[in-house]
Amino acid sequence: MAKTPAQRIKKHGANAAVPQHHLPAVINPSTTRTPQKAQSNSNLILVAGVVASLFLFWYLHLLTLNQLTQLSGGLPMPDSLVGGFDQGFVERLRSAMDGDARGQLNYVHKTAGMLFPLIFGFTWLLLIGTNVARKSLRWALWAVPLLFAGVRLWANSVIDAMMSAATLDGGQIALASGLTVAGWVLLVLSLVVGGAAVFLGRKASSARGGTSGAIPA
């Protein structure tokens, strides 16, 4: 029976032959994550986010909300009205939509209506963060998609409350209309901000490339 190292030392003292134990070698002791690889990963996430945002916009505004007009006698949903709406429109819409139809609008707000601003906002934050190096400018540009996501989610909640209220409240209608208009304006501004961020990123890349390729005098 083989003796343990402690038993061998006890029996033979300092002359005991104790076998050496070696830890297994680390397979990959160094990292292979380079700036180029990190940039490539960010680009893949950006592309996926942009594709998801486009799909959700199409699904929400061009498909689902349009289909709901079949339950409202052809009247558009409040979310689709870029210029807002008034109390007369809301009264007609509430009269045309029964409880099930309003429930479907509420369900749309809780699914695609919530996913679109969140995914779009996250994608635009990443787009700006990847292309804009200056911290103060980056935060200023980030404010636009963050505001869009917050305003759009708030508008969903106010519209649902407006549609299900026992009696119409003029202040609530004005708030829902204002948030809807603000959401559309912020969406357009977010697209402009995203384009500006990409332009700044390409400009900075070209400047770095030109500097690195310059031959010193």
User: What is the tens place of the pLDDT at every residue in 35-50?
Assistant: 666 667 778 999 999 9
Crossing angle for the helix pair 135-164 and 99-110, to the nearest 10 degrees = 160
Least confident of 31-35, 132-136, 171-175, 213-217: 213-217
CA distance 64 to 61: 6
What is the pLDDT averaged over residues 124-150? 95
pLDDT at residue number 93: 97
pLDDT at residue number 217: 43
CA distance 180 to 128: 24
Instruction: Decide if pLDDT at 72 tops 80.
Output: yes
Least confident of 24-28, 54-58, 185-189: 24-28
Cα torsion angle, 106, 109, 111, 114, sign: negative
Selection from 64, 75, 57, 134 nearest residue 106 by Cα: 64
CA distance 41 to 24: 31
CA distance 33 to 81: 47
Instruction: Supply the mean pLDDT for the chain.
Output: 86
pLDDT at residue number 24: 53
Length of the chain: 217
Q: Is the pTM for the entire model greater than 0.85?
A: no
